[in-house]
Amino acid sequence: MAKRRTFVFIAGGVMSGVGKGVASASLGAILKARGLKVTAVKIDPYINVDAGTMNPVEHGEVFVTRDGDETDQDIGNYERFLDEDILKVNYMTTGRVYLSVIQRERALGYGGKTVEVVPHVPQEVIGRIQAAAKHHDADVTIIEIGGTVGEYQNVLFLEAARMMQIATPEDVLVGLVSYFPVPSAIGEMKTKPTQYAVRTLNSAGIRPDFIIGRSTHPIDEPRKQKMAIQCSVHPEDIFSAPDVRSVYSVPQVMEKEGLGVQVVKKLKLRADKPDLRYWKKLVASIEHSQKPVRIGIVGKYAASGDFNLSDAYISVIESVKHAAWSIGRKPEIVWIDAGDLENGKRKVEGIKQLRKLDGILVPGGFGSRGVEGKIFAAQYAREHKIPYLGLCYGMQLACVEFARHVLHHKGANTTEIDPTTTHPVIHLMNEQEEKMKNKSYGGSMRLGAYLCRLKAGSLARKLYGESAIEERHRHRYEFNSDYRKAFEEKGMMISGESPDGTLAEIIELKKHPFFMGTQAHPEFLSRPFKPHPLFLGFIKAAIRK
Ligand code: GLN
């Protein structure tokens, strides 16, 4: 007999950005803690086929999966909370769904039928959800529907949920993560916006099986009772998720509220008693980490104001936190706008900021804005012996800096910025030339996990504790090996390379407490219980400083 598979849809009510991703991931975590096999699917309602072509300021971080999909940052939440690899099958967008339907139609895959938005589009969505469940052999698949109910663009996904619930009601639940405002002028929690969200769900033919109430405060008993009557949801199926200091306490909060018990009961799952020891230990270690370590992240922020910065670099931030907590330190992240390190008065202020740091991190990036500031940050770290970690662009720009100031190649650059530079220390990868000529930009970078060999005697080798590793990538440019000899002669070691020896993957300075750049994105592999070795090495060096 085929294994029974169950599905929990999570939709959002009232407004976006209330933590649907963390709620979905936390539900996954408390189910996994009961010995169930869990996976999670994210549906993004936009037409883009993947998140790779979107501006991170607008959309947040692009999270790269092991198999090379450019996805939404929530996939990162799932990986961190579930400690499972989440793959291409776990991610879909409206664009991706329509593309498949149209391609199937062109291949006569519908056998001459009229292909219609309903049911063919939701059927494609359902097929994809089931494929993910099967691929991961999941008992429970959590499906997060991006956006908020009532938006025109997620109607077809709600329709997919409805169709699945009608076909197998015993195997499908729908939860609503909704916002309960406490307006300061009124001073009390309001339930009406969520009541409207539930009505909207109702008009899509769905009665939510449970509601997770996000708010600054817990939802009190009278309000739960009121909601129950208004929304036809039992009071014990309304769960409070008030603001907490760390997202990693959400699984425990949800467990205490009874979410795990109710979901198991409703789906009639055979599950063990929940074992949340790891989560408890993690939260305790976060609380006990008092002594700060100050890490500056030099990025591009100006265009987003203060609001999106943490989203664009979320995996980097989490990686710094995981490493710091694991050694009892409180991560203090200082945002440094690369533009502040470029010229004039702002630069004086920028340098003041750099001076106070224990470590400097330059994350990935694209394009010319802020590049000179990032190059300056690398130079400052190198010259002042401040621990430096460069991720992808941060590695490439550290190479540019080294070429300019140590090898004295004045105009050295990456050809991404200056295509006619006399010293192209970073240049387009061979395989990319043709793609760029054909304007083939979508999903065409060097993406996903690649093997890397580590040089004996290097710091990288010591930190990883292995001679070969796998890291995820997302780039078009690479270190130009014509400069390899000159770099090594002056003390910049290529300590990691692709198995065929053609690509420089990790660089490190010999005479420096910690100066390392990696062409990869190690931030995608850090987990709260397993900090990434490079981040750990970096934070330890920062503390020694
Ligand atoms: N822009 C650089 C490249 O394409 C670096 C990319 C990145 O940091 N992810 O190679």
> How far does the centroid of ligand 1 lie from the alpha carbon of residue 299, in Å?
13
On whether both 352 and 245 belong to a single domain, the answer is no
On whether both 239 and 300 belong to a single domain, the answer is no
In b/e form, how buried is each residue of 283-305, taking b as 16+ CB within 10 angstroms? beebeebeeebbbbbbbbbeeee
Residue 473 near ligand 1, beta carbon < 6 Å:
no
What pLDDT does 58 receive? Answer: 76
On whether both 190 and 127 belong to a single domain, the answer is yes
Reference 52, options 40, 39, 34, 65; nearest CA is 65
Residue 476 near ligand 1, beta carbon < 6 Å:
yes
Residue 474 near ligand 1, beta carbon < 6 Å:
yes
> How far does the centroid of ligand 1 lie from the alpha carbon of residue 478, in Å?
9
pLDDT tens for 402-456 read 999 999 999 999 999 999 999 999 999 999 999 999 999 999 999 999 999 999 9
Contact partners, residue 500, CB within 8 Å, separation at least 6: none
Residue 321 near ligand 1, beta carbon < 6 Å:
no
Contact partners, residue 270, CB within 8 Å, separation at least 6: none
Residue 416 near ligand 1, beta carbon < 6 Å:
yes
Residue 299 near ligand 1, beta carbon < 6 Å:
no
Q: CA-CA distance, 509 to 386, in Å (whole number)? A: 12
Task: Centre a 10 Å sphere on the Cβ of residue 327 and count the other Cβ atoms it contains.
Answer: 15
Nearest CA to ligand 1 atom 5: 393
Atom of ligand 1 minimally distant from the CA of 478: 10
> How far does the centroid of ligand 1 lie from the alpha carbon of residue 428, in Å?
10
Residue 296 near ligand 1, beta carbon < 6 Å:
no
Provide the residue range defining the domain that includes 527.
290-544
> How far does the centroid of ligand 1 lie from the alpha carbon of residue 475, in Å?
4
> How far does the centroid of ligand 1 lie from the alpha carbon of residue 369, in Å?
13
What pLDDT does 309 receive? Answer: 63
The domain tally of the chain equals: 2
Would you call 266 exposed, middle or buried from its count of C-beta atoms within 10 A (0-12, 13-18, 19+)? Answer: middle
Residue 393 near ligand 1, beta carbon < 6 Å:
yes
Instruction: Give the active site residues.
Output: 392, 521, 523
On whether both 209 and 249 belong to a single domain, the answer is yes
Q: CA-CA distance, 232 to 222, in Å (whole number)? A: 15
> How far does the centroid of ligand 1 lie from the alpha carbon of residue 225, in Å?
52
Nearest CA to ligand 1 atom 8: 364
Residue 371 near ligand 1, beta carbon < 6 Å:
no
On whether both 334 and 231 belong to a single domain, the answer is no
On whether both 70 and 162 belong to a single domain, the answer is yes
What pLDDT does 344 receive? Answer: 81
Nearest CA to ligand 1 atom 7: 364
Q: What is the pTM of this model?
A: 0.95
Q: What DSSP element (H or E) covers 337?
A: strand 329-337
For residue 447, the domain's CATH number is 3.40.50.880
On whether both 311 and 276 belong to a single domain, the answer is no
Atom of ligand 1 minimally distant from the CA of 416: 1
Pocket-testing residue among 395, 474, 479, 518, ligand 1, by greatest number of atoms within 8 A of Cβ: 474
Q: Of 281, 310, 327, at which residue does a domain stop?
A: 281
Pocket-testing residue among 315, 477, 479, 518, ligand 1, by greatest number of atoms within 8 A of Cβ: 477
On whether both 171 and 24 belong to a single domain, the answer is yes
Task: Centre a 10 Å sphere on the Cβ of residue 506 and count the other Cβ atoms it contains.
Answer: 30
Residue 365 near ligand 1, beta carbon < 6 Å:
yes
Residue 524 near ligand 1, beta carbon < 6 Å:
no
On whether both 277 and 306 belong to a single domain, the answer is no
25 occurs within a structural domain = yes
Atom of ligand 1 minimally distant from the CA of 363: 8
Residue 538 near ligand 1, beta carbon < 6 Å:
no
On whether both 249 and 294 belong to a single domain, the answer is no
Query: Distance of CA 60 to CAs 17, 51, 71, 275, 315, Å?
Result: 11, 9, 10, 33, 11
> How far does the centroid of ligand 1 lie from the alpha carbon of residue 391, in Å?
9
**What angle is formed at CA 361 by the lines to CA 418 and CA 484, rounded to 5 degrees?**
50
pLDDT tens for 258-306 read 999 999 999 999 999 999 999 999 999 999 999 999 999 999 875 555 5
> How far does the centroid of ligand 1 lie from the alpha carbon of residue 110, in Å?
41
Residue 394 near ligand 1, beta carbon < 6 Å:
no
> How far does the centroid of ligand 1 lie from the alpha carbon of residue 533, in Å?
22
Q: Of 257, 281, 305, at which residue does a domain stop?
A: 281
Nearest CA to ligand 1 atom 9: 364
Q: Of 253, 281, 309, at which residue does a domain stop?
A: 281
On whether both 242 and 390 belong to a single domain, the answer is no
What pLDDT does 56 receive? Answer: 78
Tokens 């530079």 -> residue: 421
Residue 540 near ligand 1, beta carbon < 6 Å:
no
On whether both 224 and 317 belong to a single domain, the answer is no
Atom of ligand 1 minimally distant from the CA of 445: 4
Using only C-alpha atoms, the chain has a radius of gyration, in whole angstroms, of 25
Tokens 């990162």 -> residue: 76
1 occurs within a structural domain = no
What pLDDT does 302 receive? Answer: 52
162 occurs within a structural domain = yes
Per-residue pLDDT of the chain (545 residues; tens, 9 = 90+): 688 999 999 999 988 888 999 999 999 999 999 999 999 999 999 999 999 998 877 778 999 999 999 999 999 999 999 999 999 999 999 999 999 999 999 999 999 999 999 999 999 999 999 999 999 999 999 999 999 999 999 999 999 999 999 999 999 999 999 999 999 999 899 999 999 999 999 999 999 999 999 999 999 999 999 999 999 999 999 999 999 999 999 999 999 999 999 999 999 999 999 999 999 999 999 999 999 999 999 998 755 555 556 678 999 999 999 999 999 999 999 999 998 999 888 888 899 999 999 999 999 999 999 999 999 999 999 999 999 999 999 999 999 999 999 999 999 999 999 999 999 999 999 999 999 999 999 999 999 999 999 999 999 999 999 999 999 999 999 999 999 999 999 999 999 999 999 999 999 999 999 999 999 999 999 999 999 999 999 999 999 98
Reference 474, options 100, 39, 50, 84; nearest CA is 50
For residue 246, the domain's CATH number is 3.40.50.300
3-state class (DSSP) for residue 491: coil
> How far does the centroid of ligand 1 lie from the alpha carbon of residue 63, in Å?
14
Dihedral class, residue 111 (left if φ above 0, else alpha if ψ from -120 to 50, else beta) = left
504 occurs within a structural domain = yes
